[in-house]
């Protein structure tokens, strides 16, 4: 009997970096297509297995499973230069992408002027300076007067000479406007060369995904940047510029929603956030936000080296929550995969998690980094802290405020659950986990209304408990 095609979605439910890539890496054997539907090179998806550790940015995380097609959907913005480099890195792992990688020709490209604009204008959001915001803005803008600003891969395929002259002109306009020193010719030449490298992967059939699924292919959509960074539903304006929620998988992933089967949400046991923006559960509050954000990329690497010399135990048992956050960051290696920036660290926020699971109709929940939770046995209150509710201007609320200032003013209501001291990184069955952790998982299920189906207990592929 012919297999029936369908699609599942893996989505980050917090502020990014929940460990989606390792979940995809675990699930990939059950699918024929792994597809990205949003974002671009701003994503940092790290896979660690016996072959080493690979940080992917644009290529979907199914690389180690040769039966999978890796699809980059029209909802993504493609950085041609970086994609060509990434293809080379993956190829160096002995993986042949020739017949596997497909890039929707409807995807827009990140042009050199987008990157320049993001460097100049993205600071107050704390963007990764990959030009993502300006590229999506130009996608919506379409034409700027008579100047074509949204360029799709299909346009380059159709008339390369003309489109590269448009890209060059767009770069010149911004170069002049901001009086920038840029070697325009060099930029364009390099881009042309790299385009030749990615051209064989461009899929010109807009119904490619439909055709495959009609023939029985099972698709796993890989969300990037997570729910709280969605351009509309997230903590606006401190968000990315793409649609990151489950519904966007079908528009950005080029498939009819009639094939949807289930949504798998990934949340981290101890939360993190990169970039500016409200984060009510943050250890050390504003101090932590400013400390983590004041670093440029070079300084960020330096901060990481400095923090590596601290004594984790002393930090975690400090009465000052800022230092508790630093300790947890070092312990769980929470530094940006793309930028090495120290990530802001927070307690698990159940108000936010409930918002994300309900909004996306999450069917199954996977909680990653559960192994780090035993660190809480060393903190002063000796318990696993969770954010059980919010107070806004003295009133208890049970929702995530949409107004940015209000979200910033939220005070978390923190409660403590019983902690555990055991190292769980070698445990592979739920029954063998400490009672306190099992209770914690049950509480998450009750609050979110979702069944927890998997727990990450370490970064390696096998450090995973399936429930
Ligand atoms: P942009 O996506 O580079 O425009 O950045 C907008 C915001 O989203 C910034 O706060 C970034 O730190 C954040 N962001 C973008 N991509 C990721 C990601 O993959 N993980 C976590 N945060 C991200």
Cα of first residue to Cα of last residue in the chain, in angstroms, is: 30
Around ligand 1, the residues with Cβ closer than 6 Å are 16-17, 42-44, 125-128, 130, 132-133, 224-225, 229, 238, 240-241, 274-275
Q: Where are the alpha helices (DSSP H) in 267-349?
A: 285-293, 297-308, 312-316, 321-332
What is the crossing angle of helices 80-92 and 184-198, to 10°? 50
Q: Which two tokens stand for residue 143?
A: 């034409």
What is the phi-psi region of residue 277: left when phi exceeds 0, alpha when psi lies from -120 to 50, beta otherwise?
left
CA of 430 to the centre of ligand 1 (A): 33
pTM of full prediction above 0.75: yes
Please tell me the distance between residue 212's alpha carbon and the centre of ligand 1 in angstroms.
31
Which ligand 1 atom sits closest to the C-alpha of 45? 19
Rounded to whole angstroms, the Cα distance separating 43 from 344 reads 17
- For 328, phi and psi rounded to 5 degrees? -65, -35
DSSP string of 225-278, one letter each residue: S-GGG-TTTSSTTSS-SS--STTHHHHHTT--GGGEEEEEEEEESSEEE-SSS-
Cis before 33 (ω within 30): no
Rounded to the nearest whole angstrom, what is the distance from the C-alpha of residue 417 to the centroid of ligand 1?
A: 31
Q: Which of 453, 461, 14, 2 is nearest to 230 (CA)?
A: 14
Ligand 1 atom closest to Cα of 17? 20
For residue 338, what pLDDT is reported?
65
Q: Output the pLDDT for position 460.
A: 86
Residue of 128, 227, 228, 296 best suited for mutating to test ligand 1, as the one with most atoms within 8 Å of CB: 128
Structure confidence at residue 55 (pLDDT)? 87
Dihedral sign for Cα 36, 41, 43, 46, please. Answer: positive
Could you report the per-residue pLDDT of 45-98, keeping only the tens digit for each? 888 877 777 889 999 999 999 999 999 999 999 999 999 999 999 999 899 999
Cite the active site residues: 17, 45
In the prediction, which pLDDT does 49 show? 77
Q: Which residue ranges of the chain lie beneath pLDDT 70?
A: 1-2, 338
CA separation for the pair 151, 16 (Å, rounded):
28
How does pLDDT run across 421-458, given as a tens digit for each residue? 999 999 999 999 999 999 999 999 999 999 999 999 99
Residue of 127, 129, 243 best suited for mutating to test ligand 1, as the one with most atoms within 8 Å of CB: 127
* Ligand 1 mean position, distance from CA 132 (Å): 9
């Amino acid at each position: 009997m012919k297999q029936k095609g369908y699609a599942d979605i893996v989505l980050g439910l917090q502020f990014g970096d929940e460990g989606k890539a390792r979940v995809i890496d675990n699930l990939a054997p059950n699918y024929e297509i792994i597809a990205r539907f949003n974002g671009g090179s701003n994503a940092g998806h790290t896979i660690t297995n016996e072959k080493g550790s690979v940080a992917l940015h644009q290529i979907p995380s199914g690389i180690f499973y040769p039966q999978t097609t890796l699809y980059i959907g029209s909802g993504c913005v493609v950085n041609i230069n970086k994609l060509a480099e990434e293809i080379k890195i993956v190829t160096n792992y002995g993986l042949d992408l020739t017949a596997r990688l497909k890039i929707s020709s409807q995807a827009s490209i990140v042009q050199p002027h987008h990157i320049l604009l993001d460097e100049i204008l993205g600071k107050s959001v704390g963007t990764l300076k990959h030009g993502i915001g300006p590229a999506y803005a130009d996608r919506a803008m379409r034409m700027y007067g008579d100047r074509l600003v949204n360029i799709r891969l299909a346009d380059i395929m159709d008339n390369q000479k003309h489109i590269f002259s448009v890209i060059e002109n767009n770069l010149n306009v911004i170069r002049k406007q901001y009086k920038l020193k840029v070697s325009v010719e060099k930029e364009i030449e390099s881009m042309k060369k790299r385009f030749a490298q990615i051209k064989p992967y461009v899929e010109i059939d807009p119904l490619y995904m439909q055709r495959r699924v009609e023939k029985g292919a099972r698709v796993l959509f890989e969300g990037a940047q997570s729910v709280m960074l969605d351009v509309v539903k997230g903590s606006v304006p401190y968000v990315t510029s793409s649609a990151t929620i489950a519904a966007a998988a079908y528009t950005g992933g080029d498939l009819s929603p009639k094939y949807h089967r289930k949504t798998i949400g990934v949340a981290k046991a101890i939360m993190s956030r990169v970039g500016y923006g409200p984060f009510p559960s943050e250890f050390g509050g504003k101090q932590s936000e400013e400390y983590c954000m004041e670093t440029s990329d070079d300084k960020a690497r330096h901060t990481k080296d400095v923090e590596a010399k601290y004594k984790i135990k002393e930090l975690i048992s400090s009465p000052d929550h800022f230092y508790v956050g630093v300790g947890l960051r070092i312990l769980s290696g929470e530094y940006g995969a793309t930028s090495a920036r120290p990530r802001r660290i927070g307690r698990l926020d159940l108000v936010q998690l409930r918002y994300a699971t309900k909004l996306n109709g999450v069917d199954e929940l996977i909680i990653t980094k559960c192994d780090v939770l035993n660190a809480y046995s060393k903190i002063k209150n000796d318990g696993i802290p969770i954010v059980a509710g919010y107070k806004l201007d003295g009133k208890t609320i049970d929702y995530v405020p949409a107004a940015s200032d209000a979200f910033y003013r939220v005070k978390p209501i923190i409660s403590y659950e019983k902690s555990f001291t055991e190292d769980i990184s070698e445990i592979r069955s739920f029954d063998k986990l400490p009672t306190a952790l099992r209770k914690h998982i049950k509480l998450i299920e009750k609050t979110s209304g979702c069944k927890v189906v998997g727990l990450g207990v370490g970064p390696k592929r096998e450090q995973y408990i399936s429930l």
